Structure 1
């Protein structure tokens, strides 16, 4: 198996989910006592979030570049950035290391294309839903996206940063997301892309009228594919 590095803590709640998905998949593939060879650097999310909140993306990039460098030096052969929003600085980070960083939107876009999905709704925090860095990656795989819903983006920002990143799960937020996904399913789309690594905590991806593509699970499974070669 090849060694995979995770840039985590973005937040710790989603990093724990990455760890679980990857190890479960490796165990299913190899059986016995096998688990995944991982290196994890869990950053202080308060510091990274402060950069993002202040729109100081060079600050955020600096923290991820330093983390990627340490993981490479420790022996990681590929990396995952365990957050959709932090892929805004993907190009800057990738340019500073000699190992591949698996881009979350590329593996999600590839899965959509393989499944024949041509039109989808992108659901995530404000910068993921509205900025080009993520949308263009998906579109490059032949997927047309609904226009960003700014009201929904702002509400998801509050749910993610005030609740999910600190491990708080509420019935109110679960009901809100279920209602929103039900409304989205009535539009001219074939699927919804759950492009926030924490949203799986309040969305049952298997119990919706619309197919849900959970970026956390798809990204983690791409990491498993790398590990297993």
Structure 2
């Protein structure tokens, strides 16, 4: 099996989900008597809260280089928002970073989805690192909540979900946003925050959901087991 480097910590709740999924998915393929070789670097979430883009990019580069030097054959960033560093970090290391948008696109293409709603943090929704990759590399259009809902969409994640709080108010809010995105033409909803699938599951809505955590872990599992 190939050694996979993991950059986690944003938040540690979602990092646990990645670790659990990778072990379960590999076990499903080769049996539970084995588990995958994983090298985890869990950074301090305070880095992201400082909103210093240069510090964030350079910190992720330093971590990626450490994982590469330690023998990782590929790297996954265990959250959506930190993929903002991908274009800065990837050219500076020799091993691939498995991009979360590519995992989403693969599933969307299998289901023939061409227009997706996107929920996540403000940078994930308004930045181009996820929307742009889906558009330019995969020809998939994304829709985000209306401007007057952006702040609340971000607030629930930053103040509740990443702190391990999963409230009924948050769940009701996101279900309402999903319905509004569907009415605007979204064929499915990207749960573009690794804590969102911990709040909302398929059984909660008739709208198809794309769980970025699970799809990313599935892509990583294939890499771990690749000859």
Is the CA contact 2:115–2:140 (under 8 Å) kept in the aligned structure 1? yes
The alignment's TM-score, normalised by the length of structure 2, stands at: 0.93
Deviation at 1:146, TM superposition (A): 2.3
Distance 2:158 2:47 in 1: 13
> Per the alignment, in what secondary structure is the counterpart of residue 145 of structure 1?
strand
User: SS at 1:33's partner residue?
Assistant: coil
Q: Deviations over 1:96-126 (max 9, x none)?
A: 2111001111221222122210111111111
Partner of 1:191: 188
Counterpart of 1:77?
A: 73
Task: Provide the C-alpha distance between the structure 1 equivalents of 2:213 and 2:149, rounded to a whole number of angstroms.
Answer: 20
**TM-score, scaled to structure 1:** 0.93
Residues 62-88 of structure 1 deviation map (CA, whole Å, 9 limit, x = unaligned): 111111111111111100011211111
Partner Cα separation in structure 2 for residue 69 and residue 195 of structure 1: 26
Show structure 1 runs of 5+ residues with no match: none
Q: Who is 2:61 aligned against? A: 65
Residue 124 of structure 2: aligned partner = 128
Over the residues paired in the alignment, what is the CA RMSD in angstroms?
1.5
Does 2:162 correspond to 1:168? no
- Cα distance, 1:151–1:202 mapped onto 2, change above 3 Å: farther
Q: CA deviation at 1:199?
A: 1.0
Task: Spell out structure 1 runs of 4+ moving beyond 3 A.
Answer: none
- Say how many residue pairs are matched: 225
Question: Following TM superposition, by how much is the alpha carbon of 1:152 offset from its aligned partner in structure 2, in angstroms?
Answer: 2.9
CA distance in structure 2 between the partners assigned to 1:63 and 1:11 by the alignment: 16
Return the alpha-carbon distance in structure 2 between the equivalents of residues 81 and 142 of structure 1: 23
* 5+ residue gaps, structure 2: none
Aligned partners of 1:124 and 1:153 also within 8 Å: no
SS of the residue corresponding to residue 200 of structure 2 reads coil
- Post-superposition shift, 1:89? 1.2
> Hey, what does 2:202 align to over in structure 1?
205
- The aligned counterpart of 1:42 is 42
What is the CA-CA distance between 1:151 and the residue it aligns to? 3.0
- Answer with 145-154 or 66-75: which moved more: 145-154
1:92 equivalent to 2:88? Answer yes
Matched residue SS, 1:133: coil
